[in-house]
C-alpha cells in the first residue's frame, strides 16, 4: 500500500505541472486572440469621430477629445484648436460647426476616408484629383477631404452654417 501511495505522489506533481502548462497555454492563446482582434478593430477605428463633435458645445467637445484647447475669437465665432493642432473647430452660435481635421496623410485618398472620420461610407457628390466632397449627408451640410502627397491632407466638415 505504501509503495502505491509513493508512486501516486510522484505522479500527482507531474499532473499538476501539465495542468499548469495547459492553463498557461490556454491563457497565452486567449491573449494572442485578443491582441489579434484588437489590432483588427484598431485598423477600422475612426481617427476622429466627427459625429461626437458636430453640433456640440465647447465644453462637450473638450470632454469628448479629452484635450485642452487654445481658443480665440474670430469673424464667425470662437475658433479652438485641439489635440496638438490636429483638430480645429469654429463654434458658431455656441456649437461646433466648422471642423477641420489635419494630419491625415496616412489615410488613403478615396471614398472610404469617411470611415476614418467616424462616418458611414457614402457616394460622393463631387470628386476630382484634389478634393472629394459629400453634400447634405445626414446631419452635415458638407464634408470635404483634400488630397495630400500620398493620402488625405485634411478634412473640412461643415455642420450647419454655409
Mean pLDDT, all residues of the chain: 82
What are the backbone angles phi and psi of residue 60, rounded to the nearest 5°? -65, -40
Domain ranges within the chain, ordered by starting residue = 1-45, 50-158
CB 117 within 8 A of CB 104: no
pTM for the model stands at 0.72
Q: How confident is the model at residue 69 (pLDDT cuts 50, 70, 90)?
A: confident
Query: What pLDDT is stored for residue 78 in this prediction?
Result: 95
SS3 (DSSP) at 96: strand
108-162 residue pLDDT tens: 999 999 999 999 999 999 999 999 999 998 889 999 999 999 999 999 999 999 8
Amino acid at each position: 500500500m505504501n509503495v502505491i501511495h509513493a508512486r501516486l505522489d510522484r505522479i500527482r506533481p507531474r499532473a499538476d505541472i501539465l495542468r499548469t502548462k495547459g492553463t498557461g497555454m490556454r491563457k497565452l492563446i486567449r491573449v494572442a486572440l485578443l491582441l489579434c482582434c484588437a489590432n483588427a478593430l484598431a485598423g477600422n477605428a475612426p481617427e476622429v469621430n466627427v459625429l461626437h463633435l458636430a453640433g456640440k458645445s465647447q465644453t462637450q467637445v473638450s470632454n469628448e477629445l479629452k484635450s485642452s484647447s487654445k481658443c480665440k475669437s474670430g469673424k464667425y465665432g470662437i475658433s479652438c484648436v485641439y489635440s496638438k493642432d490636429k483638430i480645429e473647430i469654429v463654434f458658431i452660435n455656441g456649437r461646433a460647426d466648422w471642423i477641420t481635421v489635419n494630419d491625415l496623410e496616412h489615410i488613403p485618398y478615396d471614398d472610404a476616408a469617411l470611415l476614418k472620420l467616424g462616418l458611414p461610407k457614402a457616394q460622393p457628390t463631387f470628386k476630382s484629383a484634389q478634393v472629394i466632397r459629400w453634400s447634405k449627408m445626414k446631419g452635415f451640410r458638407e464634408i470635404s477631404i483634400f488630397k495630400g502627397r500620398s493620402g488625405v491632407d485634411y478634412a473640412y466638415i461643415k455642420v450647419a452654417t454655409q
